[in-house]
Chain A
């Protein structure tokens, strides 16, 4: 925009000063965060050189839960799809890995990505059924469909029926090789999920999605195709869930229908996302840290960590709906993954 722009008022041309504002899309925290993130990523990528196997296993689990929570956050936090059936895609992804790697004979590490695609393929007919429900009934509907998948697999002798199967395709590999490759794969998935979430939400699509989060009727009236946006989010979340399910069982090597399709997967996703803060990218990261700390502290007390997490989640939902990260972000105004556009008054416009 040129400063010498004029408007005609009567006979003379009056110069107009351009609006003094800029749209800021990054924050100081996000620029510092990008540097810290890059350093952290190098440290994590070289972990096999200086760390040990148990640390790697813990990080794989951390990443699995983080990605699952991130996917649920995308579903519920942005698209308003409160699903209690995401365990369906964890289970389908895990079983897809076994079938693709053991029965079809594909590379097991490549199969992890393909398993995500299989889960996404299943998500479309599932959506055709569960999208008939709204709100709370959507939650129970997705849960019922997840049970159907569990029972279908538990009744399939080829898939090992109720007792499940073991991933045999990785047996020829040396244990160290397998662990390091699985770890790196997990790292790629984590970076991919966070970057995808971040870039996606900053895009035109993300703007539409955020508008849906804030008001469905308003965004519909502004020309956003609410149904298509929601469906797309559901398919993406299923892809992410399936890939993570495959990663989990590439790490565990043993799968059974009851463990793969347990609603606890969704409980973990929900508690992590809710406690950390729904509707932000940072929230699930904070939530996963809280989850791990609680579980480690209460490791000797059976399922008490789950009871405590549930109680914290209920309190957070009612008293602090923005979650831990929301409290932090509001208190100190930090955003490591700024998806919002902020108007800064008094500075020169930027293009």
Chain B
């Protein structure tokens, strides 16, 4: 049971990582943009939830009803107002602009909320668990997170493959110029893609804030975990991203079990090993869309 426990916890943690990774991966697929502020935006969402809870007294899970639309709008404005102007001009502008936003968001949060660690309290559910046998228990909240992650992935899959808007996403992803010729307005499509990405990452940020404590500088780690989940799973594969997140989560919990300081490090090392052994990821080619 000592082995099974960290694996089960790791799988559930992987669901949260997949939630972080989905938006990052989708943005790259649609517009070839790597959003370096992705993690910081998720932490911004967690702080937004914190403020909402303080002001309205709502449960943090209910605060999602405000935070997700807010982040959705922010994503649209960010893309239309700034990031669209960085596209199509080489590698440097989008990386520098999003990295600039990463530093700006981190330091604005630091000035507004200080470096104290914060936590969202949903009133008991975060500690409730289901006992499975004597030594194994599954927390309700990690289970809910995992289910939500799967639902988001299923929803996104249906959206991309079944709706006409999803078809436009795929078309732009395949060939931006051809899509434009077919009457798709790439610029507004990008705005919508960033809005969806930030809507999803807002959920991830709030769930993170319930699960563990967070500080203004928690963002970069979230970006790295999301990135690693995407690369382990293979670019452009939604279910690969979930598998990547699960592998990363299991590696981290097993590593932390071996030695407390080694959790995150083991995750990074597994990522590097996959990169060395299989640079295209473990489940690449499932959709063959990116690159």
User: Which residues of A does B touch, CB under 8 Å?
Assistant: 76, 80, 82, 84, 129, 132, 134-137, 139-141, 143-145, 147-148, 151-152, 154-155, 162, 263-264, 267, 270-271, 274, 278, 302-304, 306-307, 309-311, 313-314, 317-318, 321
Question: Is the CB–CB distance between A84 and B265 below 8 Å?
Answer: no
Question: Is the CB–CB distance between A132 and B224 below 8 Å?
Answer: no
By a CB distance below 8 angstroms, the chain B residues around A314 are 82, 96-97, 100-101, 104
CA distance A278 to B93 in the complex (A): 11
Task: Please report which residues of chain B, range 106-155, place their CB below 8 angstroms from some CB of chain A when the two chains form the complex.
Answer: 107-108, 110-111
Question: Is the CB–CB distance between B99 and A270 below 8 Å?
Answer: yes
By a CB distance below 8 angstroms, the chain B residues around A318 are 82, 85-86, 93, 97
In this complex, the member of B89, B268, B269 whose beta carbon has the largest number of chain A beta carbons within 10 angstroms is: B268
By a CB distance below 8 angstroms, the chain A residues around B110 are 302-303
CA distance A235 to B104 in the complex (A): 30
A43 to chain B, nearest CB (A): 35
Q: Count the B residues whose beta carbon is within 8 Å of the partner chain — how many?
A: 44
CA distance A9 to B16 in the complex (A): 81
A207 to chain B, nearest CB (A): 20
By a CB distance below 8 angstroms, the chain A residues around B279 are 132
CA distance A162 to B262 in the complex (A): 12
By a CB distance below 8 angstroms, the chain A residues around B111 are 302-304, 307
Given A155-B261, A310-B107, A318-B82: A136 touches B223 (CB 8 Å cut-off): no
In this complex, the member of B92, B110, B231 whose beta carbon has the largest number of chain A beta carbons within 10 angstroms is: B92
CA distance A74 to B33 in the complex (A): 23
Question: Is the CB–CB distance between B103 and A306 below 8 Å?
Answer: yes
Q: With A82-B92, A140-B34, A314-B82 given, can you name 14 additional A-B contacts, CB distance below 8 Å?
A: A76-B92, A140-B227, A145-B272, A147-B264, A154-B261, A267-B99, A310-B101, A313-B96, A314-B100, A314-B104, A317-B92, A317-B93, A317-B96, A321-B89
Question: Is the CB–CB distance between A143 and B224 below 8 Å?
Answer: yes
CA distance A155 to B272 in the complex (A): 18
CA distance A236 to B279 in the complex (A): 26
Given A144-B271, A310-B101: A263 touches B107 (CB 8 Å cut-off): no
Q: Does residue B29 face the partner (Cβ distance < 8 Å to A)?
A: no
Question: Is the CB–CB distance between B86 and A317 below 8 Å?
Answer: yes
By a CB distance below 8 angstroms, the chain A residues around B91 are 80, 82, 134-136
